[in-house]
Structure 1
Amino acid sequence: MSKASERLLVIAPIPGPKTGQSLLSDFMANFFSANFQTITISIAGPGTSLQMNSWKQRFLKGCRHFGAACKVFSTKRRHKTIVYLALDGGFGLVYAVFQTAVASILRIPIVYHHHSYSYLTKRSCMISLLCRISKRESLHLVHCHKMADKFTGLYGTGLKTFVLPASVMLASQTSGIAWPPLETTVNPAGRHRRYCRVGHMSNLMFDKGLDLVLETFEELRLRGAETSMLLAGPCFGKDEFLRVSEFCDQYSDSTEYLGPVYGKDKETFFRNIDVFLFPSTYVNESWGIVLSEAKTYGVPIVAIDQGCVAAAVGNVGGLVLKRDLCFAQLAADQIEAWMEDGWEKTQADVLEESVIESRDNQERLRALLIELREMLDVR
């Protein structure tokens, strides 16, 4: 069958609120468009997955999924088809099961892209149902080998997984698409050995480690280190906003809150920090794309081992702590060690690893293309 008769349908929350999931989904849609006849169907709801808690929001998103299913049906009648489905956690899995049932009836394979880790810490009845009714030739994209092992261990060793790190969206090149080259200069933020500018960027919420970030800064100040703090990202709730406001007032001489940052502002953020903190224990956290972004600027990381965070941080220039340890004290120990040694070598090591990961990710994208071609050939 000719390529003109093949279709890859992307069902994903794009365009939508700028989250790691939506940004990665947008990258994948562009990647597929460069290599297949692609139709993108937006299922973006009126808020982020963190905010999908009202029945009105769920109903509106359900309507979008119903419209997507209708499009799948009409496309299947005329073309050889594969569906790419970006999975939510929580209630969003109900929609995924619906899409899976439609695809199963039409005998269409699905490429599932898993963005949540919550259903890998304990078995989910929705994911179990999804795996039971999906076809065996379907493919599950996961962010790391740990995630793949957890997934097959909980839901069946016969399920086919493909490891595709979220950092793939930062690859300097992808098959068929020319992207801006990877940054190759070391972050110039460090002033001298006893100075450190700590950075944190995320949806600012307690589950994502906001308090631990602030406690680490205070620990460094108590030890006499010359330290400043740069915070970025939207405050998720009133309590978080009040905590950040009070903290900035208390340390007004050394703390700056930027709010949400994108594009050039995000680049400036990473260029102006020495170390990035990411102590998230958020149940859905699987990767944290900001970790990979920090590494492209040579910024070392201290994080908590949640989901695939250890894989994101890598083997050099970073520290990943178990969640039951005292994060603030151990993070301060590591930061003081980096300050004592000087930032140059650590930053260079982080940057070198990021360049290697970028090359590996390009190979993974090429391998994914081969997998998808094989799925279409057996249709």
Structure 2
Amino acid sequence: MVGKYIQESKIINNQFDTNFINLSTSKTLNDIGQNGKGKIGSLLYLLNKVIKSVSSNKFDLCYMTLSTNGLGFYKDFLIVILLKLYRVKIIYHFHNKGFFEKQNKFFNHILYKITFRKTMSILISKYLYYDIQKYVNNNDVFYCHNGIPKIDLSLPILKNDIEVKPFSILFLSNMMIEKGVFVLLEACNILKSRKVSFECNFVGAWSDITKEIFDEYVSELDLNQYVFAHGKKYDEEKLQFFNEADVFVFPTFYHNETFGLVLLEAMQHSLPVISCSEGGIPDVVQDGNTGFLVPKKDSLALAEKIEVLINNPKLIKEMGQAGKMRYSELFTLEKFENNLCDIIKQAIEK
């Protein structure tokens, strides 16, 4: 999504003469991480395209989104070698993480040293520097928060002003274990045991948690009257859930979590956010100001923070307003585009 924002950015394209090459060898999301003869052919085609481009143009800089692990990294490593052979100045932009976990393996360590030698890097948060610290001097690192477009909040929202609804909790992400789905369900069970009035809406595509698994666990916890799963929603339907929510909860411990763009969406809607200190999320959520950060996989701590908000409507409003202000100041798409332009200019001159 961020890559698409960059490619289509008028701000960026008006300041630089760019040549875009799609590095993906996957045609669909289901192809990602899969092997196959078709991918080998796509890789050879891609390498040939890179060679033609760098041999016929004098580029001031190559901006590259580098994969951090798996086959994606080894594919990108081949492209990095080509760029280095043609002496192209490189700056990497990371939207994922994974070097730290594998840097102690000798083979990976050698490849990482080659990859990062005489290059620069862009990270979306200072909390992610640890991932490349072994290979990149801090002087060669730039920081650029992600941003998202402003949403038209004037879209018609269907509200029932007569019915008094219970406190509404919203989770919006892929239905994955590591996104904290079961942690939130367990927190809901704790709230139920404390006789708290609430509803919790799960919105997102089914993933390693299927609808059958989810429904079975909800029934096991006797949460059928409290918890509702709606599948993936788009546009006005998605906005409707944000507008009807009182708090946004995202208890992620996803191994590749770096920023959580969905948190910015919640902040746009003036929602307090409860999440975890995974990746760069502490740069997004100010604990105690725009929401709360709770320990990962701690359903009790999560339930307690939700209950704090349930019992304090004034705090909900204050945190929601602080979150919206923080989004407007730091996380708009325009802010991101201008920051990235400044970084590219500095990298070219460095």
The one of 229, 241, 244 equivalent to 2:214 is 244
Greater strand fraction, Structure 1 or Structure 2:
1
Q: Distance in 2 between matches of 1:363 and 1:311?
A: 15
How big is each residue's C-alpha offset from its partner over 1:3-33, in whole Å with a ceiling of 9 and x where there is no partner? xxxxxxxxxxxxxxxxxxxx11111112243
RMSD of aligned alpha carbons: 3.2
Cα deviation for residue 211 of structure 1 reads 0.6
1:327 to 2:288 alignment: no
Show the counterpart of 1:13. Answer: none
Show the counterpart of 1:207. Answer: 178
Q: Which moved more, 1:243-252 or 1:219-228?
A: 243-252
How big is each residue's C-alpha offset from its partner over 1:96-125, in whole Å with a ceiling of 9 and x where there is no partner? 211100110111122312122232345265
* 8 Å contact kept, 2:204–2:231: yes
Q: Distance in 1 between matches of 2:193 and 2:163?
A: 19
Provide the identity percentage.
17
Q: Which moved more, 1:280-289 or 1:188-197?
A: 188-197
Letter of the structure 1 residue corresponding to residue 327 of structure 2:
S
1:247–1:299: structure 2 CA closer, same or farther, 3 Å change rule? farther
Q: TM-score, normalised by structure 1?
A: 0.77
Give the SS at the match of 1:270: helix
Q: TM-score, normalised by structure 2?
A: 0.83
The one of 132, 156, 161 equivalent to 2:114 is 132
* 8 Å contact kept, 2:189–2:223: no
* 8 Å contact kept, 1:65–1:99: no
The one of 282, 286, 300 equivalent to 2:272 is 300
Show the counterpart of 2:124. Answer: 143
Cα deviation for residue 84 of structure 1 reads 2.5
Q: Which runs of 5+ in 2 are unaligned?
A: none
Question: How do 1:39-58 and structure 2 match up within 5 A?
Answer: 39-42=19-22, 43=24, 45-48=26-29, 52-56=32-36
Give the SS at the match of 1:39: coil
Count residues in correspondence.
Answer: 335
How big is each residue's C-alpha offset from its partner over 1:143-200, in whole Å with a ceiling of 9 and x where there is no partner? 101212x14522232661111122x2x155xxxxxxx6788xxxx9999999421111
The one of 24, 46, 52 equivalent to 1:74 is 52
Q: Which moved more, 1:366-375 or 1:211-220?
A: 366-375
1:191–1:78: structure 2 CA closer, same or farther, 3 Å change rule? farther
1:366 to 2:309 alignment: no
Show the counterpart of 1:24. Answer: 2
Q: Distance in 2 between matches of 1:96 and 1:243?
A: 36
* 8 Å contact kept, 1:84–1:111: yes
Q: Which moved more, 1:332-341 or 1:29-38?
A: 29-38
Show the counterpart of 1:36. Answer: 16
Cα deviation for residue 335 of structure 1 reads 1.6
Q: Which runs of 5+ in 1 are unaligned?
A: 1-22, 173-179
Letter of the structure 2 residue corresponding to residue 25 of structure 1:
G
Show the counterpart of 1:351. Answer: 324
Q: Which moved more, 1:241-250 or 1:337-346?
A: 241-250
